[in-house]
Amino acid sequence: MIEVSNLTKTYGKARGIEDLTFSVERGEILGFLGPNGAGKTTTMRIITGYLTANSGTVKVAGYDVFEDPMEARRRIGYLPENPPLYREMTVKAYLHFVCELKGIPKSRRAACTAEAVEAAGLAPVYGRVIQNISRGFKQRVGIAQALLGDPDVLILDEPTVGLDPRQIIEIRELVRSLGGRHTVVLSSHILPEVSMVCGRVVIINNGRLAAIDTPEGLSRRLRGSRCFMVRIRGPHEEVPPKVSELAGVRSISVEKVDFQDGKPEVLLSVETEVSLDVREALFFKMAELGWPILEMRPVDLSLEDVFLKLTTEEKLEDVVEVAASA
Amino acid sequence: MLKTWSIFKREVASYFLSPIAYVMGAVFLLLSGYFFSIILLATHSASMQGVFGNMAVTFIFVAPVLTMRLIAEERKLGTDELLMTAPVSITSIVVGKYLASVFTYLVFLAVTLFYPAILMFYGSPDMGPIFSGYLGMFLFGAACLAAGTFASALTENQMVAGIVGFGVLLLFWILGWVSAAVTGPVGDAISLLSILKHFDDFQKGIIDLSHTLFYVSFIFVFLFLAVRVIDSRRWSA
Does A293 reside within a domain?
Answer: yes
pLDDT above 70: percentage of residues in chain A: 88
Q: What is the pLDDT of residues B96-123, one digit of tens each?
A: 999 999 999 999 999 999 999 999 898 8
Whether A51 and A190 map to the same domain: the answer is: yes
pLDDT at A313: 46
Give the domain extent around B94.
Answer: 2-232
Mean pLDDT estimate for chain B: 91
Does A277 reside within a domain?
Answer: yes
| A88: chain B residues, CB-CB within 8 Å | 14, 17-18
**Model confidence at B92, in pLDDT bands (50, 70, 90)?**
very high
Q: How far is A231 from chain B (nearest CA, A)?
A: 53
**C-alpha B27: how far from its chain's center?**
15
Q: Is A82 on the interface with B (CB under 8 A)?
A: yes
| B18: chain A residues, CB-CB within 8 Å | 88
Nearest to A101 among B6, B81, B235 (CB): B6
Nearest to B88 among A88, A89, A101 (CB): A101
Q: What is the pLDDT of residues B60-84, one digit of tens each?
A: 999 999 999 999 999 999 999 999 9
Nearest to B78 among A11, A52, A80 (CB): A80
* Alpha-carbon gap, residue B219 to B138, rounded angstroms: 12
**Model confidence at A268, in pLDDT bands (50, 70, 90)?**
confident
Whether A65 and A201 map to the same domain: the answer is: yes
Question: Span B25-51, mean pLDDT?
Answer: 90
Contact in structure between B103 and A119 (CB atoms under 8 Å): no
pLDDT at B104: 96
Does B76 reside within a domain?
Answer: yes
Q: Is A74 on the interface with B (CB under 8 A)?
A: yes
Q: Do A52 and B86 touch (CB under 8 A)?
A: no
Does A35 reside within a domain?
Answer: yes
Short-list A256, A260, A262, A263, CA closest to A234:
A263
Residue of chain B nearest A74, judged by CA positions: B87
Does B164 reside within a domain?
Answer: yes
- Give the ipTM: 0.88
Query: What is the count of structural domains for chain A?
Result: 2
Q: Is A264 on the interface with B (CB under 8 A)?
A: no
Query: Which residues face A64 on adjacent strands?
Result: A59
pLDDT above 70: percentage of residues in chain B: 99
| B3: chain A residues, CB-CB within 8 Å | 100-101, 103
Question: Span A81-101, mean pLDDT?
Answer: 92
Residue of chain A nearest B89, judged by CA positions: A70
Whether A209 and A263 map to the same domain: the answer is: no
pLDDT at A315: 46
Residue of chain A nearest B235, judged by CA positions: A52
Does B172 reside within a domain?
Answer: yes
Q: Is A78 on the interface with B (CB under 8 A)?
A: yes
Q: Is A11 on the interface with B (CB under 8 A)?
A: yes
Give the domain extent around A285.
Answer: 223-298
Query: What is the count of structural domains for chain B?
Result: 1
Question: Span B9-31, mean pLDDT?
Answer: 93
Whether A186 and A235 map to the same domain: the answer is: no
**Model confidence at A314, in pLDDT bands (50, 70, 90)?**
very low
- Check pLDDT > 70 for residue A307: no
Q: What CATH number does the domain containing A209 carry?
A: 3.40.50.300
Does B237 reside within a domain?
Answer: no
Quickly count: other Cβ atoms within 10 Å of residue A264's Cβ.
Answer: 17
Q: How far is A52 from chain B (nearest CA, A)?
A: 5
Does A109 reside within a domain?
Answer: yes
Question: Span A311-318, mean pLDDT?
Answer: 46
Whether A75 and A177 map to the same domain: the answer is: yes
Q: Among A179, A196, A221, where does a domain finish?
A: A221
Task: Determine the angle formed by the axes of helices B127-154 and B197-204, rounding to 10 degrees.
Answer: 160
Highest mean pLDDT among A276-285, B122-131, B155-164: B155-164
Q: What CATH number does the domain containing A280 carry?
A: 3.30.70.3100
Whether A270 and A211 map to the same domain: the answer is: no
Contact in structure between A83 and A138 (CB atoms under 8 Å): yes
| A81: chain B residues, CB-CB within 8 Å | 78
Query: Which residues face A106 on adjacent strands?
Result: none
Whether A259 and A198 map to the same domain: the answer is: no
Q: Do B77 and A103 touch (CB under 8 A)?
A: no
Q: How many Cβ pairs within 8 Å bridge chains A and B?
A: 76
Q: Which residues fall within 8 angstroms of residue B60, CB to CB, at 6 or more apart?
A: B144, B166, B169, B170, B173
* Alpha-carbon gap, residue A282 to A292, rounded angstroms: 11
Whether A151 and A258 map to the same domain: the answer is: no
- Check pLDDT > 90 for residue A98: yes
* Alpha-carbon gap, residue B43 to B34, rounded angstroms: 14
Contact in structure between A123 and A115 (CB atoms under 8 Å): no
Whether A147 and A190 map to the same domain: the answer is: yes
User: For residue A115, which phi and psi values (nearest 5 degrees)?
Assistant: -60, -45
